[in-house]
Structure 1
Amino acid sequence: MGPTRVAVGQLTSTASMAHNLRQCQLLIKKAVQAGAKALFLPEASDYIALTGEESANLVKPIEKSEFVHGLQVAANNHKLPIHVGIHEPVEADSTKVKNTVIWIDEQGDIEHRYQKIHLFDVNIKGGPILTESKWVEKGMAIEPPFETSFGKVGSTICFDLRFPEISLNLRRQGAQIITYPSAFTVPTGLAHWATLLRARAIETQCYVIAAAQVGRHNEKRVSYGHSMIIDPWGQVLAELGGNKHDGEVNEPEITTAEIDLDFMEKVRSEMPLQRRTDVYPEV
């Protein structure tokens, strides 16, 4: 298998799923024009609500979501697989939603799903106060990596980035690419985003693809941006920008890079990471 070009997309989702679908359709066209063989979109691409109550009112099952259906049609029309973060309802609790990521294959079929395990509860002095656990149901399982034409992909979402155990588990299960679709806040993004992404790539010797929300979504939420693709040596191969002006909705953008599994195998063979499980339990 030779190198494969993939695209990472960046947008400013709002509470309008119709608007967000149009933004994603624009990113799909850009990815096709760039020769990408897959497109990776951010966490919560379908919508970002002002409140938990608004989110619960907006959420729809996948089979009834015009946002998901629109992406399925586009994936099939362009023969472009799409990895995208969405919301799903919690049947047993109408006040909560699921924060998930799905893989839509080139036929438009949903072939993989992962529900966010680690939820973002934070109160940063002078910064954001967010309690995701109040309105999002936590996931309970690390999903095995799934096969694509360019390698085995392991899914995580945003705050999962801070917990290396999940990426190490995915690597042990055969992952060659690990994804972090995100909506990082500006203060935490400035402090930790690139450092954590590079660390996850280096310690797993995997490609890391991190599609990020960017800009002001509403009066309460601003996202950091800086979507990235990083190679197994920790080198940033592609990166988009961040906020342009506070209050401005940024133009949807993509950037691309090549996934080269031969290079990955070179890194792994030249610096094998063999954990001493006789000394400490494997995480």
Structure 2
Amino acid sequence: MSETGTRFVAACAQMRTGRDVNANIDAAARLIREAKDGGAHYVQTPEMTNILVRSREELFAAILPENACPALAAFQELARGMGLWLHLGSLAVRLEGERAANRAFVIDPEGEIVARYDKIHMFDVDLPNGESWRESATYRPGETAIVADLPWGRLGLTICYDVRFPTLHRALAENGASVLAAPAAFTKQTGEAHWHVLLRSRAIETGSFVIAAAQGGRHEDGRDTYGHSLIVDPWGKVLAELDHAEPGVILAEIDLAESAAARKRIPALENGRRFGLLPPSEPTRLHEVGA
């Protein structure tokens, strides 16, 4: 398929990122090459492509600022050498003051960074199985929604936990995004319950394609992620799924004209209205009658 007009081939590279940054770069590069060989024009990697480790000390010993990040430089060179649009779902990059950013990068076929997005919503939760996560203790949340222009249309950027916040996705769609990216490292427990329904919901609500490259399997730090990378069309149909948690690649042909058609069929973005909210009224009081 030609990468012209509104049509292109998208791919997700599903990973099992570990502690060793160089090993993770090599693993991602193999999957990206596989996707390119399969005909992909755009390849998305998961959240935390460069390192996935629970220990804060180990993380900060391994990561560097963006301008010195070896993973980012390696992937820019890879995109340039392959003539590929490469979307790094996110990298951990060091900021000042012992903080990090969970930052996505969209890289064009010349190896240039055309968009950056820092994850807005921090995964601060206590799960029923005893898992506890406090992303805000390590990562500085982003404050700005980001869209990027690709040759075929506009891409809206999100990362993982952002998928639970539909107002972000609506804002991206209202600002021209017909593809929404949702790279993730979803926990196995929450993924089994919610992954498919959340991604299909975001597609249906906005009339957008959703592309979601995932982490999968048992990682070196002991966590389990769900895998099941997905590409969903604007009507909520799953176009491609890696139906397991092993590393691998999925591809799907995307025609962004289908987004325009879905939005015309169900004009939810156009029909949306702003509204106010009244405070609750005085509760009705029931009076006992008789003894």
Equivalent residue in structure 1 for 2:127, among 124, 127, 145: 124
In 2, are the aligned partners of 1:15 and 1:50 still within 8 Å (CA)?
A: no
Change (3 A) 1:137 1:279: closer
Change (3 A) 1:276 1:82: closer
Listed one character per residue, the Cα deviations across residues 127-173 of structure 1 (whole Å, up to 9, x for unaligned) are 42111111111111112x11101210010100000000100000111
Report what 1:82 is aligned to.
Answer: 86
Q: How many residues align?
A: 271
Report what 1:247 is aligned to.
Answer: none
Equivalent residue in structure 1 for 2:28, among 16, 24, 30: 24
Relative to the length of structure 2, the TM-score reads: 0.90
Q: How does 1:17-166 map to 2 (within 5 A)?
A: 17-84=21-88, 85-91=90-96, 93-94=97-98, 96-143=99-146, 145-166=147-168
C-alpha separation in 2, matches of 1:173 and 1:180: 17
Report what 1:277 is aligned to.
Answer: 273
Q: Displacement, 1:215? A: 1.0
User: SS state of the match for residue 115, structure 2?
Assistant: strand
User: SS state of the match for residue 239, structure 2?
Assistant: strand
Report what 2:255 is aligned to.
Answer: 260
Change (3 A) 1:205 1:46: same
In 1, are the aligned partners of 2:44 and 2:86 still within 8 Å (CA)?
A: yes
Q: Displacement, 1:124? A: 1.1
In 2, are the aligned partners of 1:83 and 1:103 still within 8 Å (CA)?
A: yes
User: SS state of the match for residue 273, structure 2?
Assistant: coil
User: SS state of the match for residue 268, structure 1?
Assistant: helix
Q: CA RMSD in A?
A: 1.4
Identity percentage of aligned residues: 35
In 2, are the aligned partners of 1:10 and 1:212 still within 8 Å (CA)?
A: yes
Larger Cα-atom Rg: 2
Q: Displacement, 1:220? A: 2.9
Q: Displacement, 1:196? A: 0.3
C-alpha separation in 1, matches of 2:228 and 2:41: 21
Where structure 2 has 5 or more consecutive residues not aligned to the other structure, the ranges are 278-291
Listed one character per residue, the Cα deviations across residues 82-110 of structure 1 (whole Å, up to 9, x for unaligned) are 1111011121x12x211010011101111
Q: How does 1:240-259 map to 2 (within 5 A)?
A: 240-243=242-245, 250=246, 252-259=247-254
User: SS state of the match for residue 168, structure 1?
Assistant: helix
User: SS state of the match for residue 153, structure 1?
Assistant: strand
Q: Displacement, 1:261? A: 1.4
